[in-house]
Structures are given as structure tokens and as C-alpha cells.
Structure 1
Amino acid sequence: MSELINNREYRKQAIREIIMDLHAGRPVEEVKARFDKLVRNLAPGELSLIEQSLINEGLPIEEVQRLCDVHAAVFRDALKRSAEPETAPGHPVHTFKEENRALEKVMDTEIAPLVDELRRTPAEAAGPLALKLAEKLNLLGDVDKHYSRKENLLFPYLEKYEITGPPKVMWGVDDENRQRLKAAKAVAVNFRPDRKDELIAKVEEAVHHLKEMIFKEEKILFPMALETLAEDEWQQILVDSDEIGYCLIEPAQGWKPVRESVQDRETIADSGSRDHIRFSTGMLTPQEIERIFTHLPVDITFVDKNDVVKFFSATQERIFARTRTVIGRRVENCHPPASVHIVEKLVDDFKSGRKDHEDFWLHFAGKYVLIRYYAVRDEKGEYLGTLEVTQDIRPIQAITGEKRIAD
């Protein structure tokens, strides 16, 4: 029997059955006991690979996401026993972990004491404590940069290796955590005595789920990524991280890959002479083309007819973060799970000819953002792709009167 239990394929099948039992409503403690008897050690990333196989077999991503915390609870003991990979200061995973330590410090040494004090304080006198909690929750909101680097830099490389399910599940949970923090902060900022218990509950809920995500990152995601990605891919993540920013810390410096990156070698090879590119209305060098896109007052992203991101403009102040890892990524993987169906419907409308453009507008980071989508077609009307154009229109709305060149 022990030989059977130690058999890798048998273990995978047994774990699949445990996960399916969870989705069928079996009690957590029941399946956890079965799991503890089945395995002594769980290889890093094995849970995610099993979830991926279930998704490939038709299990909806929303179901995996809904029970994500339950899965982690069942596997927590085994995952705790797995060794954490070592990473050098400056490596992207080292930076992710240092951010997690900073988040834990805010939660454990600043937020937890305030919550305890709030419990002991009469509701009518709790207003100042609620404001202090709002300030600390605002600090935790910096986790958005941590999540954004994970979603826009790390996930694309996992997708390259056909690991698509776990990133989608984790992105959905990240978005839930963002919403929990916003909800807790809203109650704190607009505190009323009759909402004291609600504030405590929302803060504790947000903190609990942030800690759960830290556990999943460090015991599942990061080990799996370190086993999967090549050094030049980690180097590219490092290069692109500055554009998004960091959570509560300044990253350490010093890590370099042992070998040069693929992109570095290609850059050196391509550094020779380059000819002009001819258009119907003139001709430009590649450098001129790139700098023109960089100086446009709008952000541009192009998705080709196969729904693959082929280009984005590196403008000086992009509204929404874009990194080079997005190139070659399928468009449905570039959006949170909650909005994927909207994107797919829009692209389908463009391909079918039902629509040629669509506009959206929203308030974001102090800007009033207009997002315009255009179907790009050739001379015969055949669909070539979708162009996204994004612009902050608040300064334009403020324009009055006239300003002529002569003035």
C-alpha cells in the first residue's frame, strides 16, 4: 500500500478526487484527514498543476476561485513542510517576499493593536480610532503594486509554459482582496458608532485574506515559478518592475543572471544599420517611428486578428501599466476574470462587423480616462485587429476660449 501511495500518478489522481469532493460539498476536515494520510510531502507547485488539469477538463475557473481558500486550508500542513526556495537580494521573488514581510508588519504591529483597542472602546468614542485604521488600510492598499507586478509580469511567463489556470484563479482572488480593502476603508472613513462591529469584521476579513494570499504565493506560486522560468525571463521581469512600482519597500539591488538575457543578445545583434520603412504617405526610420509613438498624447495597444497583443506605445506617462511581457499574450489573459467576457464580446463584434468602435470612460488615479477601441481593417474591409487608444481627457475638458498659433 505504501508503494501505491508513493506513486506519483496515483497521488495526483487521489488529490484530484479530494478537490472534486470539496467542490461537491464534503466537509473540509473530512477531506483534510484523507489528505494527511495520503501524502507526507507535497512538491512545490503540485497543487496548482492539479488545479490546471481540472480546469483543462472543464471545471470552471470561478469554481476553483470560489474554493481557493478551502483548497489552501486542506493542503496547508503539507505546504508548510515544503522548503522555500532561496533567492538572492534583488531577484524579483526576493522583492515579492520582502513586500510580504512589510505587509505583515503593518497588519500585525499596526492594524491588529488598533482593532483590539477599537473592541475595548465605546462606539461613541471610536471615531479617532476609525480614522487611524483608515490610514493603515491606505498603507495596505499599496499591495495593488505587488499584485499588478504579479499579474502583468509573472503571469505572462507562466502562460507561456501553458500554466494558465492558476494565474487566472489567483488574479480573481487578488481583485477580491482589493475590493475587501476598499470596503473596509470606506467604513473606516465614513465611520458611525452603529457600524463599529461592521468595521472590525471588514478589517479582519481583509487582513485574513491578504495573509492567505501571502501563504499561497510563497508556498505555491513562487516555487512553481522558480522551477519554470529561465534566468533571462526573470531578468526581464526585473527590468520591467520599475514601471509598475513596489509595495511599501525599495527593492534590494545586486542580483544579475548568470548568463545574458535573450533580449540583450538580440539588441546587440540588431544594433547595426537600419533602413527606412516606406508608407503610402512617406517613410520613417524605426527609431523615428518608436519615438513618435512615445510622444503621442495617447496610449496605444494593438491586438492582432488572432487576439494576440502585438504592440503597445511606451508613452512617458502611461495611464495603465504595460510591460514587454504582454507582447505575445492572448488578450483574454490580460484582463481580470470578471471582465474577460466583456472583452471577448467586443472583439467578436469587431470581427463580425457588427461594430467598428466602442468607447468607455471612467475616473482613475485622479484622471478622467477615455478608452476607445477601434476595429482595424484592410482595404477590403477584412479584420486585422483591435486598436485600444487611452487618454486622460480631464485637461481637455478644462480648455476654454481660444489659443491660436499667432497668440
Structure 2
Amino acid sequence: MKNMEKIDITGLTHEGAGVGRLQDGLVVFVPGALPGERVKIEVAARKKNYALARLLEIEKASPDRVLPPCPEAYHCGGCHLQHLDYRAQLLWKRRLVVEALQRLGGVRDISVLPVLGMANPWGYRNKVRLHVTGSRLGFYRRGSHEVVPFAHCRLLPAGLQELAREMARLLPGLGPGLRHVTLRQGWATGELLVALEAQGWPAAKELASKLAGRFPELVGVVALPLNNDRGVVRENILYGRDYLEERLGALRFYISATTFFQVNSAQAEVLYNQAAAFAGLRGGEEVLDAYCGSGAIALWLSRQAGRVTGVEVVIGAVHDARRNAALNKITNIRFHAGAAEVLLPRLAREGCRPEVVILDPPRAGCDRRVLAAVAAMKPRRVIYVSCNPATLARDLAYLLEAGFTPGPVQPVDMFPHTHHVECVCCLTMI
């Protein structure tokens, strides 16, 4: 085989692919390979500074290699690390955070704690988005838009797996038009919610009726237009209601089809408790939550704070946040619709001086205008919740330069068997 080589794997990329070097010294990335392994590969593509390869054979296996329980683990785009022992996954994720802070942010004098993992890292997802091609329902094959027909997924609880299998069975008799499906399940309540993304699909109500007759836990089926702006467009209810109920701790949440909510409810409690511990609230503080989404962290902290203000650009999320505050009879909280990079500088100019600021941005991290506004407010503490170690490193470097002192970083494994890792970090201003 012309492009076949044997190489040693010395590391993992931030996306979980094995890293080695070809005979000519070029760095090569090999999905499915692990550090310490001797593997046979086929080079699939050569770029200027690196190559991509397919794993053909493992001649010497890592002691951390395990047999993935899912037969599609190497093909499906959902998981990246099922072949790596879970304890080793947690060690690798901590190392990923440490290296990002040091290499990308130049942040060295900071403590990164061991990753908080799960006792049972399977069946944890409360939400899944599946795709439809023709009459096939499933996940995209890794690196493509080819649909792998759904059979099972070890990351989903039994209720979502049964619902997905029934939809896959019904679709061939309902005609074309459906493009995507989002399934949600309340971890504490067991309630099921289905969202159908379609364009002119007359069979939508028929499918909703059949699912309702099969699943007593199903509380709603809604239709969404394709390519919709999820902050504005409301769902068309085909059956039941447009939300399910979830509970975290003592709080209740109404979650609609388009609401952002952590996909791992069990670890969400771990994450929010850690944020609360770092915030150190005593009951009278003013808290500002930027990028507050549907208000989960703001509501979680409101019970220990004097007043909480949430800022969120997605109007639908603000609606959900206000609804959940009313549901829980929480009155010391208010939510503002608008971009954090616009509202926070204005609040800083108007003299807003919260004792605690929560930053929970998307993967792109915080806009510089947000970080500058936070520095101007001089809060006693900043609690940064991040889903991307690279942008966390960049933003922490800015805040440290602005005069904040770093506390510990606590990684939380919200997404076992994937390369994703969530972090909570505390910074103080003395």
C-alpha cells in the first residue's frame, strides 16, 4: 500500500485524535489511536504542516485502550474517546486544560484541580439532534453529511433511545420532507419532547399522533421551520405543549424545544454547585450574569444573593428565563435582552458595581468589550464558566493583566467519551 506507514503515537490533539510523525518528520493526526501505541496507518491527505491518516492496525496497544461498547464508535461523529478508559479520559481532559492555559494564555501560576467525573458515564444526555436523509434517521458519519441509521446510542437514556427507534421505524411510511429531529427528556421527570424541522411536510401531525399513542411520557410535539432564527420563531404545536419540565435541586425549569439547557442534568448540578461555592455569596450581594441564556446559573445563585441581573442576546432565552423565575417564585432577579458587549459597557458607565460577575460565554469566549467592562466594574469575584479551554486561556490572560488574581480552575466532565470539557474558574479583585 503506497501510503502505508508504521508510526508511534506520542499524544492526542484537543479533538482526541492520535498524534505522531511520519518517516519524513511531518506531524500526522490519526483518529482512534492513543498515546504509547505503535500503529499501522494509511496517509489520507498531506497538508503543508501536517497530514491526516486512517488507522489500519494496532501493533502495540495502549494499556488505557478499551473496547468501545458502541459498534459505530469509530464512525459516528458524536463520540471521540469511547476507546479510551474513562479514568484516562479524565486525566487527559485535565492535561488539556493545563496545556491550553500555559501554551495559549501564558497562565502558569494557577491550580487546575482533578476533573469531576461521573460514577456512571453512560446514558447521560437529555437531548439529541438527529438528521434525516430520505427515510433514514440517525447521526452524521464523522466528517460527512452521510446519515448513519439510528440503532442505539450509549450516551442516551433508554427513553430517548426507544423514541428514536420508533421514529426511525415510522419514517419510511410518511413520505419526504423531514430534515432534522430534536428529542429531549427531563432527567428528573422523564417527560419527553419532540421537535421536527421540516419544510412543507404534511405527515407531521400524523407522526405526532402515532408517537403520542405509543409514549405516555410524551408531553409535546412541535414543528420548527428549517433555518429558523431560534431566538425569534416560535414553535407550532402539533401535540400537547411546547415544553417539558425538568428539575435541578429544588428548582423547576420549563424547557422548550429551542431552549439552551445543559445536556447533562446530573453534572449541571455539579457545575452550578461549584460556581456557587466559588462565588461565596452571603445573602446580600449584587450578581451580574452575562451570557445568562435561559437563566439556569442566575436562578441557582439567586437563593444566596441579594439581587441578580442576567444579560442575554437571544430573546427566546430571556422569555424562558423570566418564565422559570416566575415558576420558582424568585423575585430578586431580572433579565435584560441584549448583547453583552453592548449592555455591559453601558452598565459600567452608569455605575453598576456588582460584587460578583458570572461569565458563561459560548465557545468563542468573551468579546473584549465585555472583559473591559468587567475590569471597569471591579467586582470582588469573577466566576468564569467555559466550554472551551482555548478561549478560557485567552480571556483569563486578559483579566489577570487587568488586575485580577486567579483562583483554582475546576474542570467538570459534562460530556464523557467526547473531547469536550467544561471548566469553572474563580478570579478575585483585592
TM-score w.r.t. length of structure 2:
0.27
Answer 1 or 2: higher relative contact order, Cα 8 Å, separation at least 6.
1
TM-score w.r.t. length of structure 1:
0.28
- Structure with bigger helix share is 1
- Structure with bigger strand share is 2
